């Protein structure tokens, strides 16, 4: 009698694995039953990944700016999650280094964390994503575009600092966005990495319920019991505010421009892609605020 054996788990690698999103993706992949030995964390500093190694996850050194580290890091990998770089210096070039190495290593699928509506968005942040998406197509490696929308954490992640001041500053006017939590986006990435049928598919990912920055501020005020309101500024004023808080001028301009994109309606979607990928409703504004206040 011939014995049947379960198919081996695919070898999955996640770049930026010690970042906020990367860690959540790894945990979501493990929660889906993938053995830790089949998961590789690609990191610039292996010393920061000791907790992942303790779970049995493989750790490999990979630096977007050092192509010599990438080909070795991707050896034997079948599916790769390329988390967009947080280094704003030639991000598209950094991503191309990873894509080239993945092609040379025979990676079968690259999932890339792009930006919501990247195909049509005019915000400054979209340019690097557009260039990376083009590089993926040119590479010939099958890809899945995870066009992530805004994170609730962009506005709830530092409440210990902003709540005492009573204001949420921005330049989004009454523009509508469809944010979700970092956990929601991580679970969507894990689904793509652990199931079939995602080759050359674009997912426009966002939350189920449209909100404005005033809605977010109002929910924070209601749950915290403290005065907290959205105060709108012009793009120029908001840029000056951010630089006054110590942000580099170029980065402050990018953040203010992103708020302008919200005002133009570029960070909203009704695709339902995120809800379908994670198999549940996306995290609501009240739940996201409750989690932030409780952390």
Q: 84-126 pLDDT, tens per residue? A: 998 888 999 999 999 999 999 999 999 999 999 999 999 999 9
Strands 109-115 and 58-61, sheet pairing: unpaired
The phi and psi torsions of 143 (rounded to 5 degrees) equal: -135, 160
DSSP for 155-196, written as a single string = HHTTHHHHGGGTEEEES-TT--B--B-HHHHHHHHHHHHHSS
Residue (of 174, 95, 85) closest to 136 by Cα position: 95
- Report the C-alpha gap between 237 and 44 in whole angstroms: 36
User: Could you tell me the fold of the domain covering 12-149+182-204+270-277?
Assistant: Rossmann fold (3.40.50)
For 197-249, what is each residue's pLDDT tens digit?
A: 999 999 999 999 999 999 999 999 999 999 999 999 999 999 999 999 999 99
Spell out the residues 6+ positions from residue 256 whose beta carbon is closer than 8 angstroms to its own. Answer: 171, 235, 236, 238, 239, 242
Output DSSP code: residue 255.
Answer: H
- Report the C-alpha gap between 109 and 12 in whole angstroms: 10
This prediction's pTM: 0.95
């Amino acid at each position: 009698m011939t014995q049947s054996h379960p198919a081996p788990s695919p070898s999955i690698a996640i770049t930026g694995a010690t970042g906020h999103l990367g860690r959540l993706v790894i945990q979501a992949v493990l929660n889906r039953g993938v053995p830790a030995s089949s998961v590789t964390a690609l990191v610039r500093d292996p010393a920061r990944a000791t907790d992942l190694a303790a779970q049995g996850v493989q750790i490999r050194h990979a630096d977007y700016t050092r192509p010599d580290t990438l080909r070795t890091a991707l050896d034997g990998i079948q599916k790769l999650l390329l988390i967009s770089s947080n280094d704003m210096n030639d991000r598209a070039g950094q991503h191309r280094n990873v894509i080239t190495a993945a092609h040379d290593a025979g990676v079968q699928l690259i999932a890339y964390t792009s930006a919501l509506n990247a195909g049509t968005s005019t915000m400054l942040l979209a340019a690097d994503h557009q260039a990376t998406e083009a590089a993926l197509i040119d590479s010939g490696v099958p890809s899945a575009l995870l066009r992530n929308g805004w994170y609730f954490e962009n506005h709830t992640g530092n409440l210990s600092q902003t709540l005492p001041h009573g204001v949420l500053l921005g330049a989004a006017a009454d523009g509508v966005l469809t944010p979700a939590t970092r956990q929601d986006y991580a679970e969507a990435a894990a689904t793509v990495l652990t199931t079939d049928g995602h080759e050359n598919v674009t997912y426009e990912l966002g939350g189920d319920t449209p909100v404005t920055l005033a809605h977010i501020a109002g929910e924070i005020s209601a749950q915290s019991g403290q005065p907290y309101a959205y105060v709108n500024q012009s793009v120029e004023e908001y840029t000056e505010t951010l630089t006054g808080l110590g942000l580099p001028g170029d980065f402050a301009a990018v953040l203010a421009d992103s708020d302008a994109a919200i005002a133009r309606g570029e960070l909203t979607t009704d695709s339902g892609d995120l809800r379908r990928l994670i198999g549940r409703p996306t995290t609501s504004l009240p739940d996201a605020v409750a989690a932030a206040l409780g952390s």
